[in-house]
Structure 1
Amino acid sequence: MKSIELKDVNALAPLIGPGNTEPVLVTSHGQTVAAVVPLTGEDAEDLLLSRSPQFEAMLQRSQQRLDQEGGQSTEEVRRRLGL
């Protein structure tokens, strides 16, 4: 894994350009303060959703509703859709 001092962040561009496959740690006074991680489009979406309070709240509401009302099996859904 690479690391870079915060004062040298302008030098970050070559480390995170196309073809970079490993994380780069950003440090300040020897302490890690950030990580720059290569992402695909799907990974970026996953990261953004995992950090979203609104998405987390939606998942919790959905789980509560499922716990209260139950759900449908795959077989039931297929039968209803005629699959």
Structure 2
Amino acid sequence: MKAIEISEASEPLSDYARGLGEEIIVVTCNKKPIAALVSLKKVDRELLALSTSPEFMEIIQAARAEFQSGKRLSLEEMKQEVLE
């Protein structure tokens, strides 16, 4: 992963994008990340959209918390819950 301070970026954005490959470039402002350049060639766009959705991430975090607290469903219980 490469970081570029926005005030020091010397090339046009298109040049950085063309040279990405599989690398991620993090754009920083005063050393704090503000954006990222990521190639979408091998990225599942639906997964990308979901992972940037605050609502979806809340659902995932709640599910992880339930799992860690010991709340689990068997496959049969899950089927019943979904099909009802």
What's the TM-score once normalised by structure 1's chain length?
Answer: 0.49
Return the index of the structure with the highest Cα Rg: 1
What's the TM-score once normalised by structure 2's chain length?
Answer: 0.49
Q: Whose helix proportion is higher, 1 or 2?
A: 1
